[in-house]
Chains A and B, each alone.
Chain A
Amino acid sequence: MRTLVFPASFEQLDPIREFVGQAARDADMSETEICAVQMAVDEACSNIIEHAYHGREGEIEVTSDFRGDTLTIILRDYGDPFDPAGIPEPDLTCDLEDRRVGGLGVYLMRQLMDEVKYEQQPGAGNLLFLVKRRRGTE
């Protein structure tokens, strides 16, 4: 298990993707799986920065935990509660004018990971669990 703490700013998305990408690589995941983990974590952290901290200063604690064939990335923040489950799925069949600009990040997160779970711990911040199981080379 490895944990790194990043300042909650968009500038940190690059090093955050690097950190979880390495965790996925260490877990022997395929290139597609590594990209999926990186993108899902990017979307989750972007939401934390935007909707939990509203651009204010803060921290995102990123933990990677690999057991068996399952990589779990745990994101902890101390901003306002933001449960991705409350975000409706975007309609991907709408034409250009009716296409909603929001909701895409959460949708991608759910598509790319096997499990997305949100938990609020009183006094211990908001926790988001992003779970990806290794399927190996396809």
Chain B
Amino acid sequence: MEITTQHFKHCDLLTVKGRVDSYTAPKLVEAIEASNKKDVFKIVLDLGDLEYMSSAGFRALLVGQRACKRYNRGEIVLARVPKKIYEAFELTGFTPLFKMFDDVTAAVGSF
């Protein structure tokens, strides 16, 4: 798994590539926390090149979303969720917890 962070005026854009499982999920948690430490709580996760995500990844997203939404200071939104991954979102009942966008520009623009 690979994560790159880009800073925009109103949010951070985290691009997550590859596979998120119990081995790599801590890196996703760290990346979200790194943004939070800079007082950035509005985050776009670009999942366009995400190949796989296990429950460890869902847990990372849940913990991150809680931290970002606290005190109404922001939220995590998702862009370009692959169909395969979206099915797992539905299975875990996670779809209502995240706004999803078909493209990154719209997601960044939503903040």
Contacts and interface: CB of A to CB of B under 8 A. Distances in A.
Interface pairs A-B: 7 shortest CB-CB: A92-B93, A10-B23, A104-B55, A105-B55, A46-B22, A10-B22, A13-B21
A116 B43 CA distance: 37
Given A35-B84, A111-B91, A101 B23 contact: no
Contacts of B62: 96, 99, 101
Nearest to A13: B21
The residue in B55, B58, B62 that gathers the most chain A C-beta atoms within 10 A of its C-beta is B55
Interface residues of B, number: 21
Contact of A42 (B54, B63, B84, B97): B54
B66 A97 contact: yes
Nearest to B65: A96
Contacts of A46: 21-22, 54-56
B21 A108 contact: no
For the residues of B in contact with A, the DSSP-based class is helix
Interface in B62-87: 62-63, 65-66, 69, 84
A96 B69 contact: yes
A108 B91 contact: yes
A14 B84 contact: no
Interface of A: 10-11, 13-14, 17, 35, 38-39, 42-43, 46, 49-50, 92-93, 95-97, 99, 101, 104-105, 107-108, 111-112
Nearest to B63: A101
19 contacts: A11-B23, A13-B21, A13-B54, A14-B23, A17-B52, A39-B88, A42-B54, A46-B22, A46-B56, A50-B22, A92-B92, A95-B97, A96-B62, A99-B97, A101-B59, A104-B92, A108-B54, A108-B88, A112-B91
Given A101-B63, A105-B54, A14 B21 contact: yes
B65 to A, nearest CB: 6
A50 B58 CA distance: 17
Given A42-B22, A49-B22, 7 more contacts: A10-B22, A11-B23, A17-B21, A99-B97, A105-B55, A108-B91, A108-B92
